[in-house]
A and B are shown apart, each in its own frame.
Chain A
Amino acid sequence: DSGVTQTPKHLITATGQRVTLRCSPRSGDLSVYWYQQSLDQGLQFLIQYYNGEERAKGNILERFSAQQFPDLHSELNLSSLELGDSALYFCASSVGGRPGNEQFFGPGTRLTVL
């Protein structure tokens, strides 16, 4: 158990819909990262927040957005869903944003878009 929790574990929805994925980082971790894992693209970095502020952006679509709240939990919002958005979404946290800090990954949310 990494200490990172993600809800829900599974999500099934239809094209065009909007969903919110939630992540609670390990206690004391200020940095939260979101990753997407699909069969054809592998694991890809989406976005990072540090203590409530956006720190880095990766291959995140404009239809996707995220935020980190004062209690440090984070939410990833996916809208106008397409079939290709079906994937595993992982949240990770670390103490800070330093390169030596290991990231602790949650169990993931499996999103299926029908």
Chain B
Amino acid sequence: DAKTTQPNSMESNEEEPVHLPCNHSTISGTDYIHWYRQLPSQGPEYVIHGLTSNVNNRMASLAIAEDRKSSTLILHRATLRDAAVYYCILRDGVGDYKLSFGAGTTVTVRA
């Protein structure tokens, strides 16, 4: 599986944007970039995914570098409920479709 690298932790203030970086320099042309998050004591939750173009949904935006070797998850206005571990995952587009979780980034939101 292609590997991703994320910072261990990030802090943000409530109602400010949060930019979560992810490096995936060995990404293949068929890999999708997925983001999931896990709130305390809950199962992981889908956030967003993309292949080549930037993506927006009600939860977040995903900015993908032109060479696809990195991406950034953007939470536009952090709330206390956004405190979670965020996982950047590459999902093979031609093989099996499991999710390979790394250590993720622990996001802390200050009130």
Which residues does A use to contact B, with CB under 8 Å? 2, 4, 31, 33, 35, 42-45, 48, 55-56, 58, 90, 92, 94, 97-108
Q: Which residues of chain B have a CB within 8 Å of any CB of chain A?
A: 30, 32, 34, 36, 38, 42-46, 49, 51, 87, 91-93, 96-103
B55, chain A: closest CB distance, angstroms: 11
Q: Enumerate the 6 nearest inter-chain pairs by beta-carbon distance, A residue then B residue, closest first.
A: A105-B43, A56-B96, A43-B101, A102-B46, A45-B98, A99-B93
A99 touches B103 (CB 8 A): no
CB pair A97–B43 under 8 Å, yes or no, is no
B43 touches A45 (CB 8 A): no
Closest to A4 in B: B43
With a cutoff of 8 Å between Cβ atoms, the chain A residues found around residue B91 in the complex are 99
Indicate if the CB atoms of A106 and B93 lie closer than 8 Å.
Answer: no
If the complex has contacts A48-B98, A56-B97, A58-B98, are A102 and B44 also in contact, measured as CB distance less than 8 A? Answer: no
Known A42-B101, A48-B98; judge A99-B45 contact (CB<8 A): no
List 7 additional A-B contacts (Cβ < 8 Å) besides A44-B101, A100-B49, A105-B45: A2-B43, A31-B97, A43-B99, A43-B101, A100-B51, A102-B49, A105-B43
Contacting residues, chain B, for A107 (C-beta < 8 A): 42-43
Nearest to A94 among chain B residues (CB) is B97
Q: Are B97 and A42 in contact (CB under 8 A)?
A: no
Distance in Å: Cβ of A91 to nearest Cβ of chain B: 8
Residues on the B chain within 8 Å of A44, using CB: 101
- Show 14 A/B contacts (Cβ-Cβ < 8 Å), sorted by A: A42-B101, A43-B38, A45-B100, A58-B98, A90-B43, A90-B44, A97-B96, A98-B97, A99-B32, A101-B97, A102-B34, A102-B49, A103-B46, A104-B46
